[in-house]
Structure 1
Amino acid sequence: MMLQKSKVDLDNNNRARLALIDPRQLTRMSLLALLTAASPGTRRLSDFTIMPYANPNEFVSDYLERPWSVGMIVLNIGAASVCEDDIHNAILRLRHELPDIPIVILSDDDELCNVLTAFRNGVRGYILSSFDPPKVIQALRLVVSGGTFIPDSTLEEIAEKTAGLFKEDSHDYAPIGAAVFDSFTPRQMEVLQLLREGKSNKFIAYELGMKECTVKTHVRKIMSKLKATNRTHAVFLLSQMTNEKN
């Protein structure tokens, strides 16, 4: 895990100031209570002073009107995806207006493509809502101290997919059964055809009138049915089956 230098801004009690952004009042207040509660097994308060906001615009406006010291921004997106326009634009605006403040995403979604998209957009941490509270607090401590937090499951999936690249050279792939091919939905078949032509997710989304995130979901399900390690592997398996049918 790579550490990056970051300035830690503290309040008068030596606690990092954290801007918590969540449009849902219930989860926002629940996280506020969690992060300001006494640390497990101790009587001291949490490391963080929480400033809750309903949306990024509210936070940015408040900050620009009366700047205050903030060490980190936590954006809780719930079941939404970082690929959705409003989430994507929120991250970009925060990065543009406050480039020196690390951003952490709190999400229900552990899809590899979405986690990687978040980091490509400049976030410094991606925390899953399935984590237990002590792990969430440890992850936030890591980011506010200058680190980058990536879920273990993401690192394991990257390692598996990377290992799969080395298997391609052997071309030792099991043939696809007809039942697998027949299990694809009509929409997946449309995606398959464009996938075989080497089209990008963005092109497929445009061609079929879908969101790019929806295309990624179809591609992921296709690869799962084919037991493919990556897109290249999937196309190879499909070509192999077509040749066998001919």
Structure 2
Amino acid sequence: MAGVTGGDAAPVRVLIVDDDALVRAGLSMILGGVPDMRVVGEAADGAEVPAAVAAYAPDVVLMDIRMPRVDGLAATEALRALPRPPEVLVLTTFDADDQVLRALRAGAGGFLLKDTPPAEIVQAVRRVAAGEATLSPAVTRKLITHVTGAGPAGPDPRRERALRLLGGLTEREREVALALGRGWTNAEISGELFMSVATVKAYVSRLLTRLELNNRVQVALLVHDAGLV
């Protein structure tokens, strides 16, 4: 995992993927001026991503969704299937909520709106590089509520699967999973559940292994699928 705190740590290596040259240039200017980050490459379409990742070995890929040939959803799925994939941070607008949810289920570490202030973009990249979700609780609830709604009556295979998977956890693991579903940070979980941040990180890693998921965002989605938050 890349260093994200400056000092002697290696800079976070970022690959920017967007079909809009102006967006790529703007993001390069924002991130290129940050001491603990380095923009190592750019790509204009999802079809270019595998070769770019192989060539530049980024820690984080800033991924647009809507691109002409291969969109960001397909590119994200392809990246997350790699043995040691980079983290993916989706670039989007709220009118693409359904696509954002699909990207998160595919393994993206979070999303940014394209009009996000520069300082927040930098912080989001740092958080994703460190394995933290970039979704605030309010945005998480808004996104998932907007996309999924109340759901149809009757059996829901996705809900039943989520309940089955979460039902196999220990009580403490379940508490941590529910906290992730609420969008809490490691520090917030530490304070609420009276455990050290290191212990929280250990539980999150254990959850990812037991549930066979890529990141904490997918745990949060599983909790929402189960209807527990």
TM-score norm. by structure 2 comes to: 0.53
| Conserved? CA contact 1:76–1:105, under 8 Å | yes
Distance in 1 between residues matched to 2:83 and 2:94, nearest whole Å:
25
Match of 1:100, as an amino acid? P
Percent identity between matched residues is 20
1:8 matched to 2:8: no
Per-residue CA deviations over 1:20-41 (Å, capped at 9, x if unaligned) read: 111221211111111112xxxx
Deviation, 1:52, is 1.6
- Compared CA separation, residues 46 and 152, structure 1 to 2 (3 A): farther
Per-residue CA deviations over 1:133-166 (Å, capped at 9, x if unaligned) read: 11111111111111111145423426978xx97x
5+ long unaligned stretches in structure 1: 1-6, 38-44, 166-194, 199-246
CA RMSD of aligned residues (A): 3.8
Distance in 1 between residues matched to 2:71 and 2:63, nearest whole Å:
12
Per-residue CA deviations over 1:80-102 (Å, capped at 9, x if unaligned) read: 39xx9733222222222465311
1:55 matched to 2:18: no
Alignment of 1:162-173 (within 5 A): none
SS of aligned partner of 2:107 = coil
| Conserved? CA contact 2:91–2:111, under 8 Å | yes
Aligned residues: 149
Correspondence for 2:139:
154
SS of aligned partner of 2:91 = strand
- Compared CA separation, residues 62 and 75, structure 1 to 2 (3 A): closer
5+ long unaligned stretches in structure 2: 156-229
1:36 matched to 2:32: yes
| Conserved? CA contact 1:112–1:154, under 8 Å | no
Correspondence for 2:62:
74
Computing the radius of gyration over CA atoms, which structure comes out larger, 1 or 2?
1
Match of 1:48, as an amino acid? M
Distance in 2 between residues matched to 1:145 and 1:59, nearest whole Å:
22
- Compared CA separation, residues 93 and 133, structure 1 to 2 (3 A): same
TM-score norm. by structure 1 comes to: 0.49
| Conserved? CA contact 1:124–1:148, under 8 Å | yes
Deviation, 1:17, is 0.6
Distance in 2 between residues matched to 1:73 and 1:21, nearest whole Å:
7
